[in-house]
C-alpha cells in the first residue's frame, strides 16, 4: 500500500499589472521558501515598464518554491511562486511508486523535484505517468503542456523521442541532476517547421535580429527561451571570463549572456565589464518605456519650442514671504518653492488660453479639447524619469496645489508611483533649473499638448526702472505640438506665464 502525503500546491503567476504589458522584473522577494503566507500578503515587488508594484498572494499556506530570483525579468503569465495550501510540507521524494497513483494528478512539482519532473518529461521517462504529474493545478492555468503537445506538427516529435537513452535512470537520479542536458535538442527548424517560442521571446528575437530557425532550444519540449535568444545574439564565447559565467547562469538564467547587439538587452551590470573599458547597462522597466515614449513623441508630434527670459525677483520675494508667514496663508507644514508659483502661473495661463489644453486623436483625426488640467511634473528618480500628474490641478487652491505637489514628488522619489498616477496628463512642467541649467528644449510627454521647462534662477544684470541692477532672472521654454498649438497661441501662453512670474499680483487679477 502506497503512503501519500496530501499536499496541494497552488501556482501564482505573474499578473498583467499594467495595460497590456508583457513582462516585469522581480525587484525584491519579501518571503522565502518555508515562510507562511496569508491571503493578501505582499510577497514581492516587481517593476514594469510603468512603475514598481507590490504583488499580494491570493492564497493561505506555506511557500513551496520561488521560481525566479530577484533581478529576473519574467513574462506575464509565468509562474513565479508556488504555495502549499494543503497544510503539508514538501512532497516526500522517497516513495517512487507514487507517480502511478491518481492523487498525483492534482499535485504540482515540489521545489526540490521541479527540475526532475521537467527532465523526466523531456526524456520520456516513466511512460505516460510523468505528463499527468504536470497537469494544471488551477482551472484554465497550468504548465506549458498544452503548447508542448500542440506544436510538434510538421513531423517533429524529435524533442521528446530523440534522447531515449535517459529513461533508464530512476527518479532519484533525476533529482540529483535536475538540469539534465537532454533538454537541448537540435535546431528546431531543420525540417522547415516553425520554431516553438512564446510571443515575447519572438519579439525579443526580432529586436535583436536573431533568426529563431537557427537557435538551439533548451526549454521543455523544444521551446526556445529568452536565454536561448540571448545566447544566439552573443557573437563568441568570452576568452577570460568563462570560469565566472557558469556560476551566474545557474542562479539567474535571465542574465546569463551579456548582450552586444542592441540596447534592449538584459545583461547584468556585474557581468558587463569584461574588458574593463566598457560597462553595459540593461535598458528595461521604466527607463525602457521612457525611451520608447520619447522616440514616439519626437517623431510623431511636430515640436516647436519658444523661449522667454523673465525677471522673477518679485516672485522670489513672494516665496520668501509665504515661507515666513505660512500660518497666515494656510501653508503650514507645506513646502513653498518657486516651482509651486510657476505651476500656478502655468495654470492661470491655461485658463486664459484654454485652446492649448488639448490632445490629438490620430485615429479619428480630431482635436480633443480638455476642460480639466492634469498637470504632469517631471521627476528624476533612481528608476529613471517619471511624469506623474496632479489630477484636476486647475481646481486646486494654492495650499492644495502645494500639498499635492509635495506628495507627488516624495512618492516618485520613493519609487512608489502607481501606473494610474502617470496616465491622462494634459500639460507637463519640468524644472531643469535644479541642475543649474538655464533652459532646454523638452520633448512632449506622449498624448499631451505642451511642456514648460523652468531654468535656473540666477542673479543677472537687468535693466529695471531705467537702471541696470542685479535681479533674479530665469529662462522659460515652452515646447508644444504644432498640430494643436500654432505660434500665436503658444506665444500667448508663454507670455502669460512670464507676466505672472514678473508680477505675481496678476495671480489675483487673472485667477
Instruction: Give the domain CATH number at 311.
Output: 3.30.559.10
Helix (H) or strand (E) holding 100: none
Q: Which of residues 246, 265, 283 is at a domain's end?
A: 283
β-pair type (467-481, 458-464): antiparallel
Q: Report the run of H or E that residue 272 belongs to, with start and end.
A: none
Q: Which residues of 347-365 are buried (b: 16+ CB within 10 A; e: fewer)?
A: bbbbeebeebbbbbeeeee
List the end-to-end C-alpha distance of the chain, in Å, as a whole number: 85
- pLDDT category at 99 given cuts 50, 70, 90 is very low
My answer on whether 348 and 473 are in the same domain is yes
Same domain, 190 and 207: yes
Q: How many domains does the chain have?
A: 3
Predicted confidence band at 466 (pLDDT cuts at 50, 70, 90)? very high
Instruction: Return the closest-CA partner of residue 254 out of 24, 57, 17, 11.
Output: 24
Domain of 128, CATH number, reads 2.40.50.100
Task: Check residue 246 and give its pLDDT.
Answer: 38
Number of H helices, E strands in the chain: 14, 21
Q: What is the pLDDT of residue 301?
A: 85
Q: Are residues 29 and 177 in the same domain?
A: yes
Does the residue 307 lie in any domain?
Answer: yes
Give the model's pLDDT for residue 40. Answer: 85
Q: Let me know if 371 is a catalytic residue.
A: no
Q: Can you tell me the distance from the alpha carbon of 493 to that of 488, in angstroms, rounded to the nearest whole number? A: 9
> Where do the DSSP E strands lie in 163-321?
196-197, 223-224, 303-311
Residues 140 and 274 grouped into a single domain: no
Give me the pLDDT at residue 7, please: 55
- In order, the DSSP letters of 310-358 are EE-HHHHHHHHHHHHTTTTTT-TT----HHHHHHHHHHHHHHH-GGGSE
Residue 439 within any structural domain of the chain: yes
Q: How confident is the model at residue 49 (pLDDT cuts 50, 70, 90)?
A: low
Which one of 230, 394, 464, 482 is the catalytic residue?
Answer: 482
Task: Name the residue range of residue 149's domain.
Answer: 9-182
pTM of this structure: 0.53
Question: What percentage of residues in the chain have a pLDDT greater than 90?
Answer: 34
Quick check: is 459 in a domain? yes
pLDDT at 147 over 80: no
**Helix, strand or coil for residue 379?**
strand
Considering only residues 157 and 413, tell me which one the structure prediction assigns the higher pLDDT. Answer: 413
Say what the pLDDT of residue 25 is: 84
Structure-model confidence comparison of residues 17 and 96, the more confident one: 17
Least confident window among 56-65, 147-156, 254-263, 347-356: 254-263
Could you give the CA distance from residue 265 to residue 256 in angstroms, rounded to a whole number? 11
| R_g (Cα) of the chain, nearest Å | 29
Mark whether 409 and 495 lie in a shared domain.
Answer: yes
Q: Is 4 part of a structural domain of the chain?
A: no
Q: How would residue 53 be classed by pLDDT, with cut points 50, 70 and 90?
A: confident
Task: Summarize pLDDT for 398-435 with one digit per residue, the tens.
Answer: 999 999 999 998 888 887 887 788 889 999 999 999 99
Q: How far apart are CA 213 and CA 207, in angstroms?
A: 15
Helices 199-208/226-233 angle, 10° precision: 10
The residue out of 231, 250, 283 marking a domain boundary is 283
Predicted confidence at residue 188, as pLDDT, reads 47
In a domain, 457, yes or no: yes
Residues 151 and 200 in one domain: no
| Kind of pairing between the strands at 427-431 and 450-454 | parallel
The answer to whether 130 and 101 have CB atoms below 8 angstroms apart is no
Give the per-residue pLDDT at 384.
75
Average pLDDT, the chain: 74
Confidence band (pLDDT; 50, 70, 90) for 275? low
- Of 249, 283, 317, which residue is a domain's last? 283
| Residue, of 253 and 397, whose pLDDT is higher | 397
Amino acid at each position: 500500500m502506497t503512503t501519500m502525503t496530501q499536499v496541494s500546491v497552488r501556482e501564482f503567476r505573474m499578473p498583467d499589472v499594467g495595460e497590456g504589458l508583457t513582462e516585469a522584473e522581480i525587484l525584491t522577494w519579501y518571503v522565502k521558501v518555508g515562510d507562511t503566507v496569508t491571503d493578501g500578503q505582499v510577497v514581492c515587488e516587481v517593476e514594469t515598464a510603468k512603475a514598481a508594484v507590490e504583488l499580494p498572494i491570493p492564497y493561505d499556506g506555506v511557500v513551496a518554491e520561488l521560481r525566479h530570483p530577484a533581478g529576473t525579468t519574467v513574462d506575464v503569465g509565468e509562474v513565479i511562486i508556488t504555495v502549499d495550501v494543503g497544510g503539508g510540507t514538501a512532497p516526500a521524494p522517497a516513495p517512487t511508486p507514487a507517480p502511478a497513483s491518481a492523487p498525483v494528478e492534482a499535485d504540482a512539482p515540489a521545489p526540490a523535484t521541479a527540475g526532475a519532473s521537467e527532465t523526466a518529461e523531456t526524456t520520456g521517462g516513466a511512460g505516460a505517468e510523468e505528463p499527468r504529474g504536470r497537469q494544471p493545478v488551477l482551472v484554465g492555468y497550468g504548465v506549458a503542456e498544452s503548447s508542448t503537445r500542440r506544436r510538434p506538427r510538421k513531423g517533429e516529435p524529435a524533442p521528446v523521442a530523440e534522447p531515449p537513452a535517459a529513461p533508464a535512470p530512476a527518479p532519484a537520479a533525476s533529482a540529483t541532476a535536475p538540469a539534465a542536458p537532454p533538454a537541448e535538442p537540435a535546431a528546431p527548424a531543420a525540417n522547415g517547421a516553425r520554431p516553438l517560442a512564446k510571443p515575447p521571446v519572438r519579439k525579443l528575437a526580432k529586436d535583436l535580429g536573431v533568426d529563431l530557425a537557427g537557435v538551439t532550444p533548451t526549454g521543455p519540449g523544444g521551446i526556445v527561451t529568452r536565454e536561448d535568444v540571448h545566447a544566439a545574439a552573443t557573437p563568441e564565447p568570452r576568452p577570460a571570463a568563462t570560469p565566472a559565467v557558469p556560476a551566474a547562469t545557474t542562479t539567474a538564467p535571465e542574465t546569463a549572456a551579456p548582450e552586444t547587439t542592441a540596447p534592449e538587452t538584459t545583461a547584468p551590470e556585474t557581468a558587463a565589464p569584461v574588458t574593463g573599458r566598457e560597462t553595459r547597462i540593461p535598458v528595461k522597466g521604466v527607463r525602457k518605456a521612457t525611451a520608447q515614449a520619447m522616440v514616439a513623441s519626437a517623431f510623431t508630434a511636430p515640436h516647436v519650442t519658444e523661449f522667454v527670459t523673465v525677471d522673477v525677483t518679485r516672485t522670489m520675494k513672494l516665496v520668501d514671504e509665504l515661507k515666513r508667514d505660512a500660518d497666515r496663508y494656510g501653508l503650514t507644514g507645506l513646502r513653498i518653492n518657486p516651482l509651486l508659483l510657476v505651476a500656478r502661473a502655468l495654470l492661470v495661463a491655461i485658463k486664459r488660453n484654454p485652446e492649448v489644453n488639448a490632445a490629438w486623436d490620430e485615429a479619428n483625426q480630431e482635436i480633443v479639447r480638455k476642460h480639466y488640467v492634469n498637470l504632469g511634473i517631471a521627476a528624476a528618480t533612481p528608476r529613471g524619469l517619471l511624469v506623474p500628474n496632479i489630477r484636476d490641478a486647475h481646481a486646486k487652491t494654492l495650499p492644495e496645489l502645494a500639498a499635492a505637489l509635495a506628495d507627488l514628488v516624495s512618492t516618485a522619489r520613493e519609487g512608489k508611483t502607481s501606473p494610474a498616477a502617470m496616465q491622462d496628463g494634459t500639460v507637463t512642467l519640468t524644472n531643469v533649473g535644479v541642475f543649474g541649467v538655464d533652459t532646454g528644449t523638452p520633448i512632449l510627454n506622449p498624448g499631451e499638448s505642451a511642456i514648460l521647462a523652468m531654468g535656473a534662477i540666477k542673479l543677472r544684470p537687468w535693466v529695471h526702472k531705467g537702471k541696470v541692477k542685479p535681479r533674479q532672472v530665469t529662462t522659460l521654454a515652452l515646447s508644444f505640438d504644432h498640430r494643436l498649438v500654432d505660434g500665436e497661441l503658444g506665444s500667448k501662453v508663454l507670455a502669460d506665464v512670464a507676466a505672472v512670474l514678473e508680477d505675481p499680483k496678476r495671480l489675483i487679477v487673472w485667477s
